[in-house]
């Protein structure tokens, strides 16, 4: 989910479509339970969203919008309100697919108009629609997890390598007390990236195929795919902690009982410094100096 602050007391809260009703219900419960002085409006049925991503996405968007889109005016993780092809929009600078991208939220009645306008101005730049399967592969290359696939109802942030999202020095957040108790105990599993050898050309493991060590289950594959960019099979697996260190080799049992050797690796698999989504500080200064000289 992404939460954007649009004003001093005004926020735009997005979540995965399949969980929107659950999240809305839980937020209402917390407001009542804690007697918060705020209100929420469920816009799920009133808004549409699309993701414009790729190295030329800023160039294409600038042809149909008057919004300031450069790195200084609209930085990574920024949020802006404006217009695209005359339609009111909210645009979030986020990047689930690992490339420069803009998540565009628009009133549902204007969605087709904005979609058609983007396709029209982007046709000469090679703009084409991409679907969920392409998105799933691109996010895997970046090591972005899917809640409910790479995790389950018992997975903790400590096991999913998401402990960086938990600011434990806050006075309070939901689940904080439980996390403190978990921090005092060794974890039993850890989500990590893995690769198969580049030269491997056999059948790919599937999600939920088991990791076997000394005849016993030591983990499971949660996401896996062949990456055309990296030229080999990559994936995520929930492993026994001693198998999760980068460079550790382990075996995956696939269909027919065949055992494949995989290697745990650090993530992300692709563009580890995130330079495709946002420039480095040196690149920003290099771009700014000529403007200042003028």
Question: 117 with 221, same domain?
Answer: no
pLDDT digit string (tens) for 196-207?
999 898 889 999
pLDDT for 292 beyond 50: no
Q: What are phi and psi of 216, to 5 degrees?
A: -120, 155
Query: What's the total number of domains in the chain?
Result: 2
Give the domain CATH number at 83.
3.30.1360.120
Instruction: Verify that 83 and 207 share a domain, yes or no.
Output: no
In a domain, residue 271? The reply is no
Domain that holds residue 184: 145-265
CATH number of domain containing 249: 2.40.30.110
Tokens found for residue 140: 């895997």
Q: Is residue 213 part of a domain?
A: yes
pLDDT at 114: 98
Same domain for 233 and 127: no
CB-based contact 69:132 (threshold 8 Å): no
Q: At 272, list the tokens.
A: 């580890």
Residues 232/196, Cβ–Cβ less than 8 Å: yes
Please tell me whether residues 135 and 150 are part of one structural domain.
Answer: no
- CA distances (Å), origin 280, targets 75, 265, 286: 12, 24, 10
Please write the tens of the pLDDT for every residue from 22-67. Answer: 999 999 999 999 999 999 999 999 999 999 999 999 999 999 999 9
92-145 tens-digit pLDDT: 998 888 899 999 999 999 999 999 999 999 999 999 999 889 999 999 999 999
Residue 294: predicted pLDDT: 35
Confidence check: pLDDT of 78 > 60: yes
pLDDT tens per residue, range 213-257: 999 999 999 999 999 999 999 999 999 999 999 999 999 999 989
């Amino acid at each position: 989910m992404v939460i954007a602050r649009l004003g001093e007391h005004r926020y735009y809260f997005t979540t995965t479509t399949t969980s929107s009703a659950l999240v809305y219900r839980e937020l209402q419960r917390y407001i009542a339970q804690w007697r918060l002085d705020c209100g929420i409006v469920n816009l799920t049925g009133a808004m549409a969203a699309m993701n414009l991503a790729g190295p030329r996405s800023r160039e294409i968007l600038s042809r149909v919008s008057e919004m300031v889109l450069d790195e200084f005016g609209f930085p990574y993780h920024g949020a802006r309100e404006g217009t695209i092809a005359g339609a009111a929009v909210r645009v979030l600078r986020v990047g689930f697919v690992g490339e420069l991208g803009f998540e565009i939220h628009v009133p549902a009645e204007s969605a087709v108009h904005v979609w058609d306008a983007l396709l029209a101005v982007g046709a000469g730049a090679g703009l084409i629609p991409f679907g969920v399967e392409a998105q799933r592969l691109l996010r895997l290359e970046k090591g972005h997890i899917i809640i409910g696939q790479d995790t389950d109802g018992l997975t903790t942030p400590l096991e999913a390598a998401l402990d960086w999202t938990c600011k434990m020095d806050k006075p309070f957040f939901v689940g904080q007390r439980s996390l403190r108790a978990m921090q005092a105990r060794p974890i039993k599993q850890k989500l990590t990236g893995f690769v198969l050898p580049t030269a491997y050309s056999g059948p790919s493991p599937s999600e939920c195929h088991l990791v076997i060590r000394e005849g016993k289950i030591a983990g499971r594959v949660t996401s896996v795919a062949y990456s055309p960019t990296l030229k080999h099979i990559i994936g995520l697996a929930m492993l026994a902690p001693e198998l999760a260190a980068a460079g550790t080799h382990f075996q995956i049992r696939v269909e027919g009982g065949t055992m494949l050797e995989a290697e745990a690796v650090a993530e992300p698999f692709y563009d580890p410094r995130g330079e495709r989504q946002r420039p480095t500080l040196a690149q920003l200064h290099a771009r700014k100096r000529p403007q200042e000289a003028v």
